[in-house]
Structure 1
Amino acid sequence: MSQQNCYILGIESSCDDTAAAVINNGIILSNVVATQTIHKEYGGVVPELASRAHQQNIVPVVHQALRKANIDKKDLSAIAFTSGPGLMGSLLVGTSFSKSFAFGLGIPLIDVNHMQAHILAHFIKAEGQTAPSFPFLALTISGGHTQIVKVTNYFEMEILGETIDDAVGEAFDKSGKILGLPYPAGPHIDAHAKAGDPHRFSFTKPKVGPLEFSFSGLKTAVLYFIEREVAANPQFISENINDICASLQYTIVDYLMDKIKNAVKKTGIKTVAIGGGVSANSGIRNALKEAESTYGWTTHIPRFEYCTDNAAMIAIVGELKYKQHAFAKNTVVAKARMKL
């Protein structure tokens, strides 16, 4: 089959978004995401509710992705799906559906590592997006992961450093909860930060190894700071929300940039790409852009639709693996924890 006629369906169900996308020759023909809003009531993702919602959403989402791509299911060349890491119940829905669908159509099945997909999303052909050249450094920042990865080629990746406790996205969300902001709090903190003074309040950056991250202490520091200030002035949060968010975001972004600088110094690689939900944050985007002129780096920032969990990134990995005939057996299983 020629590459022109090769259509890969990507399916993503690692957390609370059910997504499906169709790719052809690096170009995304459809990218459909069904976001679960029920978790806002609980201030975080409830795994049992997430897996039930995936069961309801997966068939209509796949149907819509095929319809938007203007192809029939019989036109598909292979099905790529997220096999991990993620919430086990959520992964099982996508895995089971993909295995059954591929088996029914008699086409290859391709398993995809979710974190690898965040990095390789940069290779989707899209207006205003250029693919990084190898080797490059990838900073993957999300609700579940914070990693610096050395990327030698599409499928040779080495973790240089990662969080020893919480992920950066969790630090944003938990801090936001302390401030009374809706879940997920990251976008709300970012919005308030734009109107605030980033140097009004100071938060200590956690001290760990040069390429490691730690965010649990920062969350605790925010909690104690707010408790202390609210005890003295019950209106403290509402009166200072913009400055609090700006100061918190400045600390987190500065901390992330410290680690990237250390990685660039260690490896000599000056091409840096970001991925994962937190890469939508304007603070880290601006800091990376500034680094291009300050340090002579080449930086790659994904389009917003490829930052949060989506199936387009699963589809591009599926296409790259399809070219190598790197197919999965029908006995493949989902894994909540998975190495890069």
Structure 2
Amino acid sequence: MSDKTLNTTKTYLITGAAGFIGSFLSKKLLEQGCQVIGIDNLNDYYDINLKQARFDLLKSYKNFTFIKGDIAEKSQLTDVFAKYKPNFVVNLAAQAGVRYSIENPDVYIQSNIIGFYNILEACRHHPVEHLVYASSSSVYGANKKVPFEETDFVDNPVSLYASTKKSNELMAHTYSHLYNIPATGLRFFTVYGPMGRPDMAYFGFADKYFAGEPIKIFNNGDFDNDLYRDFTYIDDIVTGIERLLTNPPSKSEGAPHRVFNIGNNNPEKLMDFIHALEKALSNATGRKVEFEKIYEPIKPGDVPATYASTDLLYEAVGFKPETSIEEGLQKFADWYVDYYNVK
């Protein structure tokens, strides 16, 4: 375990810097005086105003440089590496979402496969001290054994999104092996919090409630066999990335490549999470909030449970996520009510 702190003389390249995780991580590094180069294509997969609001928080820092660009554009990305010579790269630019991948497969191949290949090529030709990249808990597919451990078999993805993330892990391992690129993949488990992604269920539930519409719950109304999710608060994710950045893998175990789960290690029933959100919104608005609920069958590509073992992460950097859903959802609800000025 290392207690190394971030080196503020180094340059940190964050792709997807206007995204949820990317913006929070960039802000944390900027606050510590690090030089941050942010890349984002500012696409309209969800509300561009929210991306702009995150970006506005970052651009006030003198040590922040923003580049509007797409990692799928190889020449532009190569130019960025040549000009800024980043020491550390965190690749968070990706087309997210399981259900969207069923409707729009092309964008997943462009961003998650071609884009990531371009990142690896750039790190090959402009060596970096550490590449950290986003994988996903979705790689575990329909695995029945819980908690999910990094050594589990992950060759049965149930969505194209999951396939692209599994591909990223294989590609990174290969490049680490061939070109000695220290790389760490992070399997994120249902990240939530203020300024989060509107396509995530908890955010959509709030939107539906304030629009006077019912919410859809994809568990067949089966409370005995409810869906379980390992909800992970954004600050815990950022702390985990920050700790891992200064802990690149070595060649001692073959290729300098590792994969870690970052999850709450405390799965919640989906219905308990919904009740906690109702309570948090009630506190934030000063009135009782109760969702009108419609129960539907589980969607293709969804899995019954996501539950992370975080033992490896703790062994490596002495950290495990610990924010409760009550605390995290209250912060989200307070932000939501203020940001959207709902009464």
Q: TM-score, normalised by structure 1?
A: 0.29
Higher RCO, 1 vs 2 (CA within 8 Å, ≥6 residues apart): 1
Q: Give the structure with the larger helix fraction.
A: 1
Q: TM-score, normalised by structure 2?
A: 0.29
